[in-house]
Amino acid sequence: MARARVLVVDDKENMLKLFERIFAGSHEAGDYELTAAADGTRALALVASREFDVVITDIRMPGADGFEVLKAVKSRSPDTEVIMMTGYAAIQDAVTAMKQGAYDYLQKPFDPDAAALVVSRALERKRLKEQAATLRKELEGVFAFHNIVGKSPLMREVYGLLDQAADLDITVLLTGETGTGKELAARAVHYHSARKERRFVPVNCGALPSELVESELFGHARGSFTGAAGEKIGLFEEASGGTLFLDEIGELPLPVQVKLNRALQEKEIRRVGDNKGIKVDVRVIAATHRDLRAEAAAGRFREDLFYRLNVFPVRMPPLRERREDIPLLAAHFLEKHARAFRREVEGLEPDALRALTGYPWPGNVRELENAIERAVAVARGKTVALKDLPPEVKGSQEGSVPAEVLAKMPYREAIDLTRDRVSRDYLVALLREFNGNVTQAAARAGMERESLHRLMKRYKVHSDDFKPRE
């Protein structure tokens, strides 16, 4: 990760030196690149010539004041976070600055640890914004195929197959676990095909009452059975010229499978109670979470229908096989549900993202969307925190990072992920060893007590949690 660029602006030399000591004493001092400006005019020149991640500026200064610096920073680089410094008498000025886009303020005199924490949080906020912007660009680019989101090699292969299927106008069989996006894939095939101007008719075969399945699919003639007061057009006819999506086709009763096989072969249907054939021009896309080949071998699915459907098979991979898509999907669902709830939730905190990446997602993409929807609904701030996630997902944060997840990340991202997790585990073990005694823990760690405190704040580890209960 690139070093964080921090600009400190103050006309008092002792204040500039204080920040030099704060960053020099940081356990992560090498992660910061500090620039100092002795007045606002000099700061304006620096801001005009280069970008900073965080600007810390006094409000009252000769020449250009803090408000001018704030305006110049936000004009050139809106994502740069600005922290204002002020005396007690000018608190209202700081509040005004925050309304104009400042991230936070420090009231002089301030605790060095408190200042370091504010800067750390400002940097984290900027990185979250950058991450959200990057994910948004990816979502708007080649990594979304008709609302199917992903950039993993597996998903790129799926996009290619769906694109081919759309052009070929043949029967498609979509397989995969529940929640992997089979209906989205079916819609993608339809809306990228020559049939896109006609209807897409979805039907869940497992939800149809067994005694009405045939009537629903093929229609019925008047008086064909008790209650058939008039003739009914079936779903095949409704989808004429378009696409009929038969979801969970493995649930169809065997007698109906016989008629479906004939309809696919002859491109003709017969309504229940009618001997007259009706020609239909329909592309059928079927989907199932079952292994139809095994079902056919066991006699629970007709073998001839299986081969009729299995012309162009496409497997939708489970989420655990494409974990590198989780941040992209999470960003997509966060934006979607924040807009729906009219909430200003802009991103995911690192701990929350790590938990999402480490969880196995038995319910796949559907479960991920439900988790993000809940998190957006309960989030108190502008970012989704670990505490906002469902209990089972939060629990995944305690485990190690799966090797297959690390292997699919950029080197720096993988290093940051493992470093943060190991750092937190180390702090927990250290404080547990010394029953929450920070002084003894710092001595064992070989660092200053203040530096250990800063690490504890960063990783949300509290010494009181490790002290013996009386």
The total number of residues shown for the chain amounts to 470
CB atoms within 10 A of CB 406: 17
Q: What is the pLDDT of residue 414?
A: 67
Q: What is the pLDDT of residue 396?
A: 57
Any idea what the Cα angle at residue 307 is, between residues 304 and 310, rounded to 5°?
150
Q: Is 0.75 surpassed by the pTM of this model?
A: no
Any idea what the Cα angle at residue 356 is, between residues 395 and 421, rounded to 5°?
70
Q: What is the pLDDT of residue 95?
A: 83
Q: Which of 58, 76, 78, 73 is nearest to 125 (CA)?
A: 78
How far from 71 is each of 40, 102, 130, CA to CA, in Å? 12, 10, 20
Q: Which listed CATH number (3.90.660.10, 1.20.1070.10, 3.40.50.12780, 1.10.8.60) goes with 322-398?
A: 1.10.8.60
Containing 9, the helix (H) or strand (E) segment is: strand 4-9
Torsion angle of C-alpha atoms 418, 420, 424, 425, degrees rounded to 10: 10
How far is residue 424's CA from residue 149's CA, in Å, rounded to a whole number?
32
129: Cα separation from own chain's centroid:
14
Containing 335, the helix (H) or strand (E) segment is: helix 326-341
How far is residue 324's CA from residue 82's CA, in Å, rounded to a whole number?
32
111 phi/psi in degrees, rounded to 5: -75, 130
How far from 136 is each of 130, 331, 334, CA to CA, in Å? 10, 8, 11
Any idea what the Cα angle at residue 459 is, between residues 344 and 438, rounded to 5°?
145
Q: What is the pLDDT of residue 298?
A: 94
- CATH 3.40.50.2300 matches 4-138: yes
How far is residue 280's CA from residue 435's CA, in Å, rounded to a whole number?
76
Three-class secondary structure of residue 333 per DSSP:
helix
Q: What is the pLDDT of residue 416?
A: 66
Which CATH number is associated with domain 153-318? 3.40.50.300
CB atoms within 10 A of CB 225: 12
| Mean pLDDT per 10-residue interval, the chain, length 470 residues | 82 88 65 85 87 90 88 89 83 84 88 88 84 62 66 91 94 95 94 92 89 88 75 91 96 94 93 89 96 95 96 95 90 91 87 86 92 94 90 66 61 68 79 87 88 82 71
How far from 412 is each of 1, 133, 415, 416, CA to CA, in Å? 6, 19, 5, 6
How far is residue 43's CA from residue 56's CA, in Å, rounded to a whole number?
10
Q: Which of 187, 184, 182, 177 is nearest to 148 (CA)?
A: 184
Q: Which of 353, 337, 371, 361 is nearest to 417 (CA)?
A: 353
Q: Which long-range contacts (CB under 8 A, 24 or more apart) does 154-162 make?
A: 154/317, 154/321, 154/322, 155/317, 155/322, 155/325, 158/185, 158/314, 158/315, 158/316, 158/317, 161/312, 161/314, 162/188, 162/189, 162/192, 162/314
Q: What is the pLDDT of residue 470?
A: 46
Q: What is the pLDDT of residue 142?
A: 42
- The helix-helix angle for 449-458 and 438-445 (nearest 10°) equals 100
- Could you check whether the bond before residue 109 is cis, i.e. omega within 30 degrees of 0? yes
Torsion angle of C-alpha atoms 8, 10, 14, 15, degrees rounded to 10: -50
How far is residue 122's CA from residue 117's CA, in Å, rounded to a whole number?
9
Q: Which of 245, 250, 174, 261 is nearest to 206 (CA)?
A: 250
Q: Buried b vs exposed e over 280-309: b needs ≥16 C-beta within 10 Å?
A: bebbbbbbbbeebeebbeeeebbeebbebb
Three-class secondary structure of residue 348 per DSSP:
strand
